[in-house]
Structure 1
Amino acid sequence: MKLVEPEITVIARPSLDLREVAAYLREIGGEQWLARFDRGTLDDPPNDAETLAEIAGRMCYRSWEPGLNPNVTRVRTDQAAYLRNVLSSAHGSVLEHANFTFLLKNVSRVLTHELVRHRAGTAVSQESLRFLRLEELPFWFPDWAKDDPELMERTGKALQDLEELQLWMARHFGLDREDVPFAEKKHRTSFMRRFAPEGVGTSLVWTANVRTLRHVIESRTAPEAEEEIRLVFHRVGELMRAEAPALFGDYEVTDGSWTPAWRKV
């Protein structure tokens, strides 16, 4: 048994091509919106996730500047104020254009089985135990469990027995022999994973758009949520507030629970 802690990092984020945005704005007469970059009234460099959400929103109403749409006589010029209005008016569709990709390491299959329920707006690539042979069982224990000596002794022994079973089966099936074809190794490894506990640590790449992230952070940090997924998505919330504060700065965090000012965006 190897004691592990969940690790979460952002490995990909939106990247804007402002040259293409500028070409579109010149065509429709909205160059003044882009001029804000030159005047320093937007971040330099801009926050691409926040700016992409703003571009998507302004596209809907052609609200780059007054007059482009005769029905729009005034526009918000401050990006943070514009995005607050997007959130407060629940114009959540524009948030779906901004995607972030996370590497979740040392999370259990208890967590991943719950995470796959959030299918809309996500992509998942998870370590495959059909191909990956287990030689040790990485395992996360919450602090309250670590403080229980008898519990740790008994569960540690159970995990050690399961590890030894994995190693025995690999020897029994001769998986390290050079004459064993890969298809046979895959077949046997698939059988062996049936004896790995659901709490075994795994890794996955998880991508979600901002609208989905707002929902998952709220629901999976709620007090009634499973404790490991609460821990992980508290960390995801912290990462996202640093990545895109105008899109995640409305949350109130109390005892690890993230509650947005504007729900169902």
Structure 2
Amino acid sequence: MRHVEPQVRLIARPRLDYDEIAAYLAEVGGDRWLERVDRGEPDDAQNLAEFAGRICYRSWEPGLNPNVTRIRTDQEEYLRNILASAHGSVLEHVTFSFALHNVSRVATHELVRHRAGAAVSQESLRFVRLDDLPFWFPDWAREDPELMRRATSLLEQMEQFQHWMAGRFDLDAEGVPFAEKKAKTSFMRRFAPEGVATGLVWTANVRTLRHVIENRTAPGAEEEIRLLFGKVAELMVKEAPALFGDYTVQDGAWIPGWRKV
């Protein structure tokens, strides 16, 4: 048994093909838009959101749509208006992928409830045999010596049982078919606690991210998932400040300036 801390790594972000965007804009008369935006990986997420928004009204330049006589040329101002007007559909084009490491199955069972706008690939304990039981303890639990003594003892006993079963089933013997290993490993996972740490890749669009950050850092949310999405929120404010800069933080709760986006 080992103590672990939940970790979040941002592993994928939008990447735009500016040549194809330029070809499109040349046809509709919006070439100058590309002159106003910064190009490159850190900017692609916000550029994609702006591009998706402007295509709705052909608002690349005044006059391209006779109904549009003036436009916002500052990207931060433009995206702030997207958030304020709850034009959230354009944010669904912008997706980010995270590697969530050392997070419990308690947290992942809650996370998979957010299905809309998200994709999940989680470590399968039907295939991955447990040879130790990584476990996260909140600070208040660590400050209770008797609780920690009993909890550690119980986890060590469960861990020893995992090793005993692997030996009992001869899973490491030469020639054991993988199908048998899978079946026995699936049985063995039933004796692992729900708090055992695992890993997954979680992908979500910006609209979903904003919703989950607000809901899962709220005071009533489970404390590990609050910790986890506080870390996600910190990453996103740095990654796309024009899309996440409206939040204020109160006692760990991330409160958006604009809801129902």
TM-score where L is the length of structure 1: 0.97
* Paired residues for 1:1-265 under 5 Å: 1-37=1-37, 42=38, 47-265=43-261
Alpha-carbon displacement from aligned partner over 1:56-98 (angstroms, at most 9, x marks no partner): 0000010000011111110000000000000000000000001
Deviates more, 1:45-54 or 1:186-195: 45-54
Q: CA deviation at 1:46?
A: 6.0
Residue 113 of structure 2 aligns to a residue whose secondary structure is coil
Residue 173 of structure 2 aligns to a residue whose secondary structure is coil
Residue 190 of structure 1 aligns to a residue whose secondary structure is helix
Residues 221 and 45 of structure 1: CA distance in aligned 2, closer, same or farther (over 3 Å): closer
Letter in 2 for 1:15: R
CA distance in 2 between partners of 1:155 and 1:35 (Å): 60
CA distance in 1 between partners of 2:83 and 2:149 (Å): 49
Residue 203 of structure 2 aligns to a residue whose secondary structure is strand
Whether the 8 Å contact between 2:42 and 2:239 is mirrored in structure 1 is no
Q: CA deviation at 1:33?
A: 1.3
Letter in 1 for 2:187: F
Residues 182 and 45 of structure 1: CA distance in aligned 2, closer, same or farther (over 3 Å): closer
CA distance in 2 between partners of 1:221 and 1:17 (Å): 35
Q: CA deviation at 1:141?
A: 0.1
Q: CA deviation at 1:26?
A: 0.4
CA distance in 1 between partners of 2:214 and 2:171 (Å): 45
Whether the 8 Å contact between 2:14 and 2:45 is mirrored in structure 1 is yes
CA distance in 2 between partners of 1:55 and 1:3 (Å): 45
RMSD over aligned Cα, in angstroms?
Answer: 1.0
Whether the 8 Å contact between 2:237 and 2:244 is mirrored in structure 1 is yes
Q: CA deviation at 1:35?
A: 2.1
How many equivalent residue pairs?
A: 261
Q: CA deviation at 1:107?
A: 0.2
Percent pairwise identity: 71
Alpha-carbon displacement from aligned partner over 1:138-172 (angstroms, at most 9, x marks no partner): 00000000000000010111101100100000000
Residues 22 and 143 of structure 1: CA distance in aligned 2, closer, same or farther (over 3 Å): same
Q: CA deviation at 1:44?
A: 6.5
Unaligned runs of 5+ in 1: none
Letter in 2 for 1:52: L
Letter in 1 for 2:9: T
Q: CA deviation at 1:2?
A: 0.7
CA distance in 1 between partners of 2:29 and 2:45 (Å): 24
Residue 230 of structure 1 aligns to a residue whose secondary structure is helix
Alpha-carbon displacement from aligned partner over 1:185-238 (angstroms, at most 9, x marks no partner): 000000000000000000000000000000000000000000000000000000
Q: CA deviation at 1:29?
A: 1.0
Q: CA deviation at 1:179?
A: 2.0
Residues 90 and 189 of structure 1: CA distance in aligned 2, closer, same or farther (over 3 Å): same
